[in-house]
Amino acid sequence: MEYGCQSEVGTIKRLLFKHPSEAFISDENIETQWEDLNYLGSPDYNRAVSEFEGFVEMLERHVPEIHYLPQQDQTGLDSIYVHDPVIMTSGGAVLCNMGKEQRRGEPTAMEEFLIGLDIPILGSITGEGQLEGGDIVLFDKNTLAIAEGYRTNREGIRQLQELTREIITDFQIVPLPHWQGPDDVLHLMSIISPVDHDLAVVYSRLMPVPFREWLIQRGIKLIEVPDTEFETMGGNVLTVSPRKCILLTGNPRTRHLLEEEGVEVWEYEGDEISKKGAGGPTCLTRPLWRTD
């Protein structure tokens, strides 16, 4: 069974990307979309391609199997952030129902591709349910935390609980704050990134007290992202294997704190592919299979 992720820190064996040439397509296409998608600025296509290829080259040294989504008419610039439209479980893929209206076509576009990789579809979030992959953090094969906020609602959570009732026994529901409102992106993974089973990068100022205490009770040591590095996505860390992770450049204090805990940190340039669209290294990747 070469699919499924039992945690956010298991070794990545299969990984999904979408290249900017298939998501951004061209500078002309970017200009028609970026403002409506609430990007911080218009990504430069050629620079985005260069950044992305440097990011992938780093991961190719450590991940044995990498796949790329093709261009799809029902998707836009945000489809480069492949983490959000699908959740990987040991029972197969769960197709999300995106809280951001402009991304509603992404889960369906991903379905046929996953089936082609022999990954079964466990189910879909439908109707009034909303759910995005960035709002879920897996801690072990039976336990996940899921945010309730502007991108994931209570009905989406209920449907996921029903679909995974034979797999996940412990759901920790984490209410998210208003922060900068519904047009901004604040996922659960904006404020927590596990880097080992007993270590996580967090931004506690946006974290509900009961959830933070739950993490500590699980024996997880918390590395606090400085205020100055939250906006540069210091809290969005992609763990490739335990205590080996990728961080966006421009977060030197977070990197130092990680290295003090014995974590090996690699950095990538992401002004065009990450900062302007508010999507860090976890957002750019969808692990299809992790092994603990």
Q: Where are the beta strands (DSSP E) in the chain?
A: 11-17, 65-68, 86-89, 92-95, 121-124, 136-140, 143-148, 170-175, 192-196, 199-202, 221-224, 238-241, 244-248, 264-268, 286-291
Lowest-pLDDT range of 14-23, 41-50, 177-186: 177-186
Q: For position 212, what pLDDT does the model report?
A: 98
What are 113-134's pLDDT values in tens digits? Answer: 999 999 999 999 999 999 999 9
Question: Is the pLDDT reported for residue 263 higher than 90?
Answer: yes
Across 99-112, average pLDDT = 94
Amino acid identity of residue 81, one-letter, is Y
| Residue percentage of the chain with pLDDT more than 70 | 100
* Cβ neighbours of 292 (radius 10 Å): 13
Identify whether the C-beta of residue 97 lies closer than 8 Å to the C-beta of residue 107: yes
Pairing assessment for the beta strands 11-17 and 65-68 based on DSSP bridges: parallel
Question: Is the pLDDT reported for residue 7 higher than 90?
Answer: yes
Question: Is the pLDDT reported for residue 255 higher than 90?
Answer: yes
Amino acid identity of residue 13, one-letter, is K
Amino acid identity of residue 272, one-letter, is E
Angle at 20 between CA 195 and CA 135, to 5 degrees: 40
Token match 């129902």: residue? 97
Going from the C-alpha of 56 to that of each of 15, 21, 208, 221, the distances in angstroms are 10, 14, 34, 29
Q: Mean pLDDT, the chain, as a whole number?
A: 96
Across 170-199, average pLDDT = 93
Identify whether the C-beta of residue 92 lies closer than 8 Å to the C-beta of residue 118: no
| Residue 183 pLDDT class (50, 70, 90 cuts) | confident
Tokens of 170: 């412990």
Across 1-5, average pLDDT = 90
Across 37-63, average pLDDT = 97
Q: For position 176, what pLDDT does the model report?
A: 95
| Residue percentage of the chain with pLDDT more than 90 | 97
Rounded Cα distance, 281 and 247, in Å: 7
Q: For position 180, what pLDDT does the model report?
A: 86
Q: For position 60, what pLDDT does the model report?
A: 96
| Residue 185 pLDDT class (50, 70, 90 cuts) | confident
Token match 């100022």: residue? 205
Amino acid identity of residue 93, one-letter, is A
Q: DSSP characters for 21-68?
A: HHHT--HHHHHTTTTTTT-SSPPPHHHHHHHHHHHHHHHHTT-SEEEE
Angle at 261 between CA 258 and CA 264, to 5 degrees: 60
Q: For position 182, what pLDDT does the model report?
A: 85
Rounded Cα distance, 84 and 104, in Å: 11
What are 212-222's pLDDT values in tens digits? Answer: 999 999 999 99
Domains of the chain by start residue, with CATH: 11-189+270-291 (3.75.10.10)
